[in-house]
Amino acid sequence: MKKQKILITGGAGYLGSILTTKLVYLGYDVTVIDILEFNKISLSHLFVKNNFKFINGDVRDKKLMTKELRKNDIIIPLAALVGAPLCAKYPKKTLEINYKCVKFILSKLKTSQKIIYPNTNSGYGIGDKNKFCDEKSPLKPISLYGRTKVEAEKIILRHRNSIVFRLATVFGYSYRMRTDLLVNFLVNMAIRNKKITIFEPHFRRNYIHVIDVANAFIFALENFSKMKGNIYNVGLSNANLTKLQLAKRITKNIKGIKINLLKNKKDPDKRDYFVSNKKIEKLGFRPSISLDDGIIELKNLFNTFNFRDNKNNY
């Protein structure tokens, strides 16, 4: 059987470096296009593999993208500016990469080519207080980040061989580490400061480990025919928590940590929702790493290594 060829944009990033590694070791022919803006060596362990190809390039380079899109069976467009603060800082770049580049990719795809797209469940904006958001819930993105991802999702779904994931807030270690994601950030704060400081503690989120997100992509590749043309929330169903509940879970796993509540500070990212993941669970996908196990992983990581803070990392 011919090995499937996969093109991953942004494959050296936080999710991409985990997913790329898994796919290469599963035997797929994987090409990554990444500009390496933040971490230069997150995929260096794969250069020995003959089914891995790396291109140091920009997804806004239409000539490069056209050439590489022709060669691959499956496209996974991970390249994006991620998070409300970063996108607000670079609005033009956000529109170019998060939306226009995805639109260009779709314009070049053959109907036979497959695409798996990672949206964010931040598109739900502010959910109803007594109701979980599912895939049929209205999208009400608040930030530029959420709006560009939602608009990209719409055009992705016009392609018949497509799957869209709406991802929960991701946590855990990656070859290209991010310390700004909420769970990672709060655990790092707990280790460094012996306290956790939070504001607007009632804001709700769903969470999932980065390894389980990569596993969801692999699950989609293996079950593409029955999943195509659909949207799936991907998160830990037992990790729908307020920020205060998350802080308490961290203090349960890291002893001697105090929680400090700031009453007058506002969160620029106003999203607030609980999410249902039943649709993908009914197909047989289940995350394998609990929130508690992820917190312990991060505790051990931050006790061992001092990661450089980078507010613009993604």
pLDDT digits (tens, 9 = 90+) for 274-288: 999 999 999 999 999
Burial 46-77 (b: 16+ CB within 10 A, else e): beeeebbbbbebbbeeeeebeebbeebbbbbb
Q: Is residue 45's pLDDT more than 60?
A: yes
Q: What is the CB neighbour count within 10 angstroms for residue 281?
A: 15
Show the tokens assigned to 58: 């920009």
Q: How far apart are CA 196 and CA 191, in angstroms?
A: 9
Can you list the alpha helix ranges (DSSP code H) found in 49-199?
62-70, 84-89, 91-94, 101-108, 144-156, 182-193
Structure confidence by residue, pLDDT tens digits, 197-206: 999 999 999 9
Provide the pLDDT confidence category of residue 311 given band limits of 50, 70 and 90: very low
Whether the CA torsion 266, 270, 273, 275 is positive or negative: it is: negative
Mean pLDDT rounded to a whole number for the chain: 94
pLDDT of residue 314: 29
Separation between Cα atoms, residue 183 and residue 171, nearest integer Å:
6
Mean per-residue pLDDT for 211-232?
Answer: 98
How does pLDDT run across 143-154, given as a tens digit for each residue? 999 999 999 999
pLDDT in tens, 86-131: 899 999 999 999 999 999 999 999 999 999 999 999 899 988 888 9
- pLDDT tier at 309 (50, 70, 90 boundaries)? low
Apex 7 CA angle, 5 and 10, nearest 5:
155
Radius of gyration of the chain (CA): 19
Which run of H or E residues covers position 115?
strand 114-120
Q: Tens digits of per-residue pLDDT, 154-202?
A: 999 999 999 999 999 999 999 999 999 999 999 999 999 999 999 999 9
Structure tokens at 138: 């209205």
Q: What is the pLDDT of residue 168?
A: 97
Burial of 197 (0-12, 13-18, 19+ CB in 10 A): middle
Question: What's the pLDDT at 269?
Answer: 73
Tell me which fold the domain 5-170+207-234 belongs to. Rossmann fold (3.40.50)
Asked if pLDDT for residue 83 goes beyond 90, the answer is no
Q: Which of 203, 197, 194, 115 is nearest to 160 (CA)?
A: 115
Q: Which pLDDT score is estimated for 308?
A: 63
